Amino acid sequence: MWTFDAPPIEYWRKTYGFAPDQKWLDHVRLSAIRIPGCSASFVSANGLVMTNHHCARSCTADVSPKDSNYIETGFAAANLSDEKKCAGIYADQLVSIEPVTDRVRAAVTATTAAQQARQSAAAAGSIERECSQSTGLTCQVVSLYQGGLYSLYRYKRYNDVRLVMAPEEAIAAFGGDPDNFTYPRYDLDVTLLRVYENNAPFHPTDYLRWSANGAAEGELIFIVGNPGSTGRLNTLAQMDFLRDIGYPAQLAIYKRALGIYRETIAHDSAAARRFQNQIFSIENSQKAVGGYLAGLVDSARMAQKRAFENEFRARINADPALRARYGRTFDAIAAAQRELGTMARQSRNYGFGPSATLAGSALMAMAAQIVRVASEAAKPDSARLPAYRGAGLENIKKALLSERQIDSNFEKLAISAQLRLAQQELPPDDPFLRAALAGRTPERAAEALVSGTKLNDLSVRRALIEGGPAAVAASNDPLIVLARAIDPLNRGVVARADSLNAIIAANAANIGQALFATYGTTLPPDATFTLRISDGVPKSYPQSGTLAPYKTTYYGLYERAAAFDYKDPFSLPQRWQARKDRLSLTTPYNFVSTNDIIGGNSGSPVINRNAEVVGLAFDSNFVGIANRFVLNPETRGAEARRGPAPLMPALSAPPRLCGKAFLRYLCYLPTLLTDS
Amino acid sequence: MWTFDAPPIEYWRKTYGFAPDQKWLDHVRLSAIRIPGCSASFVSANGLVMTNHHCARSCTADVSPKDSNYIETGFAAANLSDEKKCAGIYADQLVSIEPVTDRVRAAVTATTAAQQARQSAAAAGSIERECSQSTGLTCQVVSLYQGGLYSLYRYKRYNDVRLVMAPEEAIAAFGGDPDNFTYPRYDLDVTLLRVYENNAPFHPTDYLRWSANGAAEGELIFIVGNPGSTGRLNTLAQMDFLRDIGYPAQLAIYKRALGIYRETIAHDSAAARRFQNQIFSIENSQKAVGGYLAGLVDSARMAQKRAFENEFRARINADPALRARYGRTFDAIAAAQRELGTMARQSRNYGFGPSATLAGSALMAMAAQIVRVASEAAKPDSARLPAYRGAGLENIKKALLSERQIDSNFEKLAISAQLRLAQQELPPDDPFLRAALAGRTPERAAEALVSGTKLNDLSVRRALIEGGPAAVAASNDPLIVLARAIDPLNRGVVARADSLNAIIAANAANIGQALFATYGTTLPPDATFTLRISDGVPKSYPQSGTLAPYKTTYYGLYERAAAFDYKDPFSLPQRWQARKDRLSLTTPYNFVSTNDIIGGNSGSPVINRNAEVVGLAFDSNFVGIANRFVLNPETRGAEARRGPAPLMPALSAPPRLCGKAFLRYLCYLPTLLTDS
């Protein structure tokens, strides 16, 4: 995951015999773009943009006509005027990178970690403002190596992005949750967008041409995109915390949320559609976190991490200057993580339940907000809880003062699940439990709270908000009473956790600086959802006692559908069944490679050494996810021989699909590439 | 793996709602047959027999014409006269089972384990002889529950078996070693034979009809065949020994042998064909033993085994009669296994190297035989080493006195590998090492031994054999000198290991008796390569983060071939490529089920509750192999929900293949079934 201002040319030359020049790098950088949450690229002279279907899913749904759903039917614009404007999607093109480490550092004069962090942030903010004003570009100061290095990234932002083509989701996400994060894979996770300027297609100076041949096994390929975040600079203490406490707790919350959604759906089939997105998103997170955890419990990887940390600490300790500055950082992080560990049960349970998307209670959230609006409004803005600063307070009030649909059964399930978990984790005499249960079972307490509260009535909420602190203090609504009791408990654990996390962040920044001081750019920085370039090769690997092939073909799509008797999520849209004889089934479909990517890379173009598109990154397999913290060393370069590789299924070059002028939208792509 | 005289009718009724009557059981038993090393079945009124391609591989090779090889080309007899007689293949049909436990037991009067074993064997032998003489049948006394129960199995033996159809091996064993013991799978491991009597097709009274529909997911199916051996009645101590010492040593020998073969092939490409069968066989064993070992290190399975053994021992100890008889058996086995463990390094290394099929040295083996022929010939037959009893001595002499091709380079590799392993495992002053190395490196020693010996010269061997003990004692051939030194070391460890294994066997027999006394036939006996019936259902299961489908289709064959660019072992015969459009690719191909099978079951028919063929068992997957010692409890019956299932890919019903009259030999089967 190399940055474009520090590409490892020598490493590439040595490993692959390829050393791109600055022109190649500039062309690739300018062809790549970033869209909200995902990566993408220009792939035609007329502003056509390639990304994943799942990256433009909301647009595809939003622009659907009333009587149809492009998610189900797919969409292909008949001509330019048929292309549909996507609200909320913009495209950022990285125009330049400038080092600003010295300017940020110069602004840091304080001695405490928290103050230093504020000063760095302020300096970054003023650099960004100055850049925007002088250039008209979108400017971002990126902190690399956890603050070891600061770079100013200047983007040209394109705000008019339109939907051109999207396959049916049954094909784009074929295999659904079971096949997610796995390989061999058989989906077509691609969507085409187009950037417009002045209501006409934009003509980019740089865009990626198409490879006529796709990628061969063992051939050097690059993935150019915006990996979201990795934790490879984390210390062992941070990883131990995630392994033993953080991730298991997160998985428990996902499990709890899925349980609530599924129980609700079992009694109310209409709820299935309502919760579909949440369930999909939680299942995805569950597999991802499961994979991260798998990496943390992999003894070979962790031994590698331990060896690296030992060597790194030895280097720091061997240099008096480094030692004076960074000698204590690892232990300081470990101490803070230990304390976070000891208070984890309280941190997890002293609160108002998980967020709405994780099946939290809407009533409980409203009660908490009513109590907090009353107290926070009285404070100066900077002293408020973060969510209540700036426009936050008014937005929260506005939401509380609008009509809300409350599902009582769901609320009871959500609150009783929250209380059950608290009961399992906290001692019987815990103040949270005393306040919430008051001797009742979780189910009884939830029943009483939901039946007893009047907060589903807008006028009751209005009276409490308009009545201010006095009205809230006087309320005997059972949920307000409970929220008042939880509020101080929650503030206590949150404040302590915040200060511990600030200590960790400040020391992590020191480690980043020490790392950069010790190793320079020979180690790439952790992912920051900014543009990176990652090298690798398509490659078969051992799995389940046999070999996974480096690529799949359309035969495999039809095999997997037939093998599951066409049951969801292995069903095929009607026209994919009807017209399969018009497809050349040996056409490469998905492939897997040793490139290093992670969430945020979705939609990244995969290119060969001629900077031609050979694929489109859309997922990682389970072995690859485990690379979040420690990159398996056996995966670097073409000489890797044994063991699991970090894997990246990618769409093979679409032009091949069109040899038989098969399904219209599959061929739409090269048509546009050649004639528009 | 139930016996036909104790089918678990109540368990089947409760689990599947199916309780076959005696007529059903008799029909199925008489339709099933056993061939050397494999299972099979009658599938037509004209004596057609279905088994696996790999079960009749030697016949298919042997009957090939000089200018062609049916292994490569496949074979389908044009008519009856074109069917080819298989030398060495006979078919045994189980005619009846009779309990003979009391007769065997009555003959046992001795007090030592070894004597008791001899008396049991003698009693079994006389029952078999008496049976054969009075009935003309092939009779076998089968020891079940390690001697807890004895049954007389009477077989009708058919000696004229002919080859009718065999596919190309590229299809029959598609996927080769990588796909062996894995699933999803795409091979057609089937061959058709025919039983003849009096030079005409035999007309069996019982044969299996064909299901028109194949097997559906979740449907009750039975596998009827001859599982070779399991170790489920082994004690924990026996399993610990295999896990820690036995299997790791076995795997080391496989690895060593493959290393030698591959190094030889690297310098001599002609050797590839010579070693092909050995390499295939070792790779197969390597995967199988790897799977057995995986079961032994699976903590959930072993916890289950431990719980069972504890309960079993508690039951024995709670009953004074059982306790008096069997109370000490477990500890006696554990003590013997411990001693075998302490002498394992000597046992492994005090010898003449592995057998020829495991890349042992031919020269070393000849030297050992020359030394032993001299000493064994002088003893009475019963006092000789087992290999030298009866006709053994003369056969060994005959082999020594025939011309042999010796590959010096291979010999050096084999001997130096043997000595290297010994050097790693034995202390420097060990007598074996002193004799073999005499201060040299293993490579130097091997070089000196192979260059210095004259044993590759037939006349030298003849002179030593004809010269008897005096000539051998006087020889200064370096290999004879070494063999003389190793001989007493080897006799010492072998004798001690034999006596410890006799103690284990005698106590294991006691455990079998105790088990049978305690649990009766509610637990099936360990596999004994005799006819069993195993229930289960075709079933999807979780694998590699996603689901493995319960079946595969012909799409998958073409997918896997294309995904590997048609490289071996994923290549397709020309006509399979040329004629694929004539095949309905959604035809079910292989499927996987929860039935309990193991090596020896190869070729077993898979039938539905109407006793119709729905498939042909040909392999187990990796999860299934691990059932050798402990059957995963989640796999019993249709209610199994989570976790890995024991898996058994089986060929789906061939008739479906013929809807399109595709490849001749695929359709040959139903053609024969209907018109002959």
- β pairing state of B613-617 and B650-652: antiparallel
Residue B329 has pLDDT above 80, yes or no: yes
pLDDT given at position B649: 33
Q: What is the pLDDT of residue A632?
A: 61
Binary contact (B540, A564; C-beta < 8 A): yes
Tokens, residue B543 = 């694998």
Instruction: Determine whether the interchain pair B560/A547 forms a contact, defined as Cβ–Cβ distance below 8 Å.
Output: no
Choice between B609 and B649, residue whose per-residue pLDDT is larger: B609
With the C-alpha atoms ordered B210, B214, B220, B226, is the resulting torsion angle positive or negative? Answer: positive
Q: Say what the pLDDT of residue B320 is.
A: 93
Q: Taking each helix axis as running N to C, give the angle between helix B458-474 and helix B478-519, from 0 to 180 degrees, rounded to the nearest 10.
A: 90
Q: Which of B540, B544, B558 lies closest to A544 in CB terms?
A: B544
Specify the pLDDT at position B295: 83
Q: Do residue A555 and residue B555 have CB atoms under 8 angstroms apart? A: yes
User: What angle (nearest 5°) sits at the alpha carbon of residue B160, between those of residues B158 and B164?
Assistant: 115
For residue B209, give the nearest of B667, B493, B607 by alpha carbon. Answer: B607
Find the helix or strand (DSSP H, E) in which B194 lies: strand B191-197
| Cα gap B47→B205, rounded to integer Å | 10
Beta-strand ranges (E) seen in A578-660 are 588-591, 605-607, 612-617, 650-652
Q: Flag if A559 and B552 touch (Cβ within 8 Å).
A: yes
Taking the CA of residue B588 and the nearest CA in chain A, the distance in Å comes to 8
Q: Other C-beta atoms within 10 Å of A667: how many?
A: 18
Q: What is the pLDDT of residue A637?
A: 27
pLDDT digits (tens, 9 = 90+) for A15-37: 999 999 999 999 999 999 999 99
Whether residue A284 has pLDDT greater than 60: yes
The percent of chain B in helix, strand and coil, each rounded to the nearest 5, is 55, 15, 35
Determine, for residues A178 and B544 on separate chains, whether the beta-carbon distance falls below 8 Å. no
Look-up: residue for tokens 């090779």? B61
Query: A44: which 2 tokens?
Result: 């035609």
Residue B236's nearest CA partner among B333, B143, B323 is: B333
Return the pLDDT at B603.
92
Q: Output DSSP code: residue A599.
A: T
Assigned token pair, A628:
């979040």
Q: Kindly list the distances between the CA atom of residue B386 and the CA atoms of B117, B355, B381, B393, B428, in Å, as whole numbers in the listed order.
A: 17, 16, 9, 10, 32
State residue B632's pLDDT score: 61
Residue position matching structure tokens 């050494």: A609
Q: Choose the mutation target among B559, B620, B652 for the interface with A, i.e. most A CBs under 10 Å.
A: B559
Of A182, A543, A549, the CB nearest to B563: A549
Q: Return the H-helix or E-strand segment holding B84.
A: strand B84-85
Sign of the CA dihedral running A223, A224, A226, A229: positive
Distances (CA, A) of A565 to A300, B401, B513, B536, B606: 40, 63, 48, 20, 21
| Peptide bond connecting B538 to the previous residue in cis, omega within 30 degrees of 0 | no
Average pLDDT in the A492-510 region? 91
Instruction: Kindly report the nearest CA distance between residue B433 and chain A, in angstroms.
Output: 34
Q: Are A335 and A282 in contact (CB under 8 A)?
A: no
Measured between alpha carbons, how far is residue A369 from residues A385, A455, B464, B503 in Å?
11, 11, 101, 77
Would you place residue B137 in the very low, low, confident or very high pLDDT band (cuts 50, 70, 90)?
very high
Question: How far apart, in whole angstroms, are the C-alpha atoms of residue A420 and residue A418?
Answer: 6
Set of chain B residues whose Cβ sits within 8 Å of the Cβ of A181: 545
**CA distances for A272 relative to A60, A262, A409, A606, angstroms:** 20, 8, 15, 36
Backbone angles phi, psi at A150, to 5 degrees: -120, 135
Buried b (16+ CB within 10 A) or exposed e, B377-403: eeeeeeebbeebeeeebeebbeebeee
- Res. B350: pLDDT tops 90: yes
At residue A633, what are phi and psi to the nearest 5 degrees?
-70, -20
Q: Is A223 helix (H, G, I), strand (E, B) or coil?
A: strand
- Average pLDDT rounded to a whole number, residues B355-384: 93
For B290-310, the pLDDT digits (tens) are 888 888 887 778 888 898 899
- A569: preceding bond cis by omega (within 30 degrees): yes
Specify whether the CB–CB gap between B449 and B415 falls below 8 A: yes
Confidence tier at A570 by pLDDT (50, 70, 90): very high
CB contact set of B600 (below 8 Å; sequence gap of 6+): B37, B38, B39, B225, B226, B227, B228, B229, B527, B529
Task: Determine the residue of chain B that is closest to A586 in CA distance.
Answer: B562
Q: Is the distance from CB of B313 to CB of B330 less than 8 angstroms?
A: yes
Task: Pick from B187, B544, B550 the residue to mutate for testing the A interface (most A CBs within 10 Å).
Answer: B544
- Cα separation, A180 vs A622, whole angstroms: 9
Q: A645-654, B412-421, B533-542 — which one is most confidently predicted on average?
A: B412-421
A273: which residues sit within 8 A by CB, 6+ positions away?
Answer: none
Q: Which of B149, B157, B112 lies closest to B132 in space, CA to CA?
A: B157
Residues A544-567 have a mean pLDDT of 93
Percent over 90 (pLDDT), chain B: 63
**Nearest Cα residue to A573 out of A165, A70, A58, A178:** A70
Q: Which residue has the higher pLDDT, B629 or A601?
A: A601
Q: Looking at the complex, report in whole angstroms how far the Cα of residue B581 sits from the nearest Cα belonging to chain A.
A: 10
Degrees to nearest 5, angle at CA A470 with A466 and A471: 50
First-to-last CA distance in chain B?
33
In the predicted structure, residue B332 carries a pLDDT above the cut 90: yes
**Is the pLDDT score of A250 beyond 70?**
yes
Task: Please report, as a single letter, which amino acid is at residue B443.
Answer: E
A648 closest CA partner among A672, A630, A629, A623: A623
> pLDDT for B31-64, tens place per residue?
999 999 999 999 999 999 999 999 999 999 999 9
| pLDDT-based confidence at residue B669 (cuts at 50, 70, 90) | very low
Q: What is the DSSP letter of A440?
A: S
Average pLDDT over residues B80-90: 94
**Which range (A358-372, A401-415, A567-581, B553-567) has the least confidence?**
A567-581
Contact B586 A217 (CB under 8 A): no
The letter for the amino acid at B278 is: Q
Mean pLDDT score of chain B, rounded to an integer?
88
- The whole-number average pLDDT for the span B338-347 is 95
Q: Do A589 and A553 meet the contact criterion of CB atoms below 8 Å apart?
A: yes
| Residues in chain B whose Cβ is within 8 Å of chain A | 175, 178-179, 181-182, 184, 217, 287, 540, 543-547, 549-553, 555-556, 558-560, 562-565, 585-586, 621-622
Range with lowest mean pLDDT among B141-155, B304-318, B574-588, B623-637:
B623-637
| Residue pairs spanning A and B at CB distance below 8 A | 80
Burial of B132 (0-12, 13-18, 19+ CB in 10 A): middle
Segment A52-79, tens digit of pLDDT = 999 999 999 999 999 999 999 999 888 8
Overall average pLDDT of the B440-467 stretch: 96
3-state secondary structure of B361: coil
Distance from the A563 Cα atom to the nearest Cα atom in chain B, whole angstroms: 5
A141 closest CA partner among A534, A597, A530: A530
Do residue B553 and residue A559 have CB atoms under 8 angstroms apart?
Answer: yes
- Partner-chain contact A543 B544, CB within 8 Å: yes
